[in-house]
Structure 1
Amino acid sequence: MAEPDPFLLPEVRQVNPGETHLLCRCGRSPVLPDCSPGCAEGLLLEPVRQQFVLLCRCGQSRRMPYCDGSHSPPAQGLKARWRRFAKGD
């Protein structure tokens, strides 16, 4: 398995009633946060109300398919937290 990209941010997705989303829970899908066809571990999400969900794209979350911030190490102070999102720092 390839090393996760620490600069790969989660996906904010708007989901609506009547839609169906098959989301990855194992972290091995090549199209995260969506699940690969035929995977038995996928989560079938059928929203009952419109909402936004924060979905993991790096595969490190302990709450797959939802992002728990595992892609970004803890940082002390506001400046250090912003620096995590700038490549080259």
Structure 2
Amino acid sequence: MVDESAPRLPEVRQVHPGETLLLCRCGRSPALPDCSGAPCTDGVRVEITREQRLLLCRCGASRQLPYCDGSHSPPAPGLSAKWRRFWHGQ
């Protein structure tokens, strides 16, 4: 059973050169962070040129969609506190 009151944490996605992603920028896609077409009308196509990990928003609250900016959580003091909260749920 999924706890609907819990915040939706971001997705860490490993990407590789040659991949193409279609990511949502409007926050209305039912398949966040991916753009599903309808009702999402503002997808961004991302061509991956190097292997990396992307931190992608799944709650739709980010001001930097499709990337997570931590808007799903109250402010944390500093980057290390944000990563500690993400990885350990604190």
Give TM-score scaled by structure 1 length. Answer: 0.75
5+ unaligned residues in a row in structure 1: which ranges? Answer: none
The 3-state SS of whatever aligns with 1:13 is: strand
Per-residue deviation at 1:7? 2.2
Please name the residue that 1:45 is paired with.
46
Aligned length: 79
CA distance in 2, matches of 1:31, 1:58: 10
Opposite residue 69 of structure 1, the aligned amino acid is G
Please name the residue that 2:14 is paired with.
14
CA distance in 2, matches of 1:5, 1:42: 27
5+ unaligned residues in a row in structure 2: which ranges? Answer: none
Q: Which has the higher strand share?
A: 2
Aligned-residue RMSD, C-alpha = 2.4
Q: Which has the higher helix share?
A: 2
How many percent of aligned residue pairs carry the same amino acid? 64
Larger RCO, structures 1/2 (Cα 8 Å, 6+ apart) = 1
- CA deviations on 1:35-79 (whole Å, 9 max, x unpaired) are 012644101011111110000000000000000000001256x6x
Per-residue deviation at 1:6? 4.7
* Cα distance change of structure 1 residues 5 and 71 upon mapping to structure 2, 3 Å threshold: farther
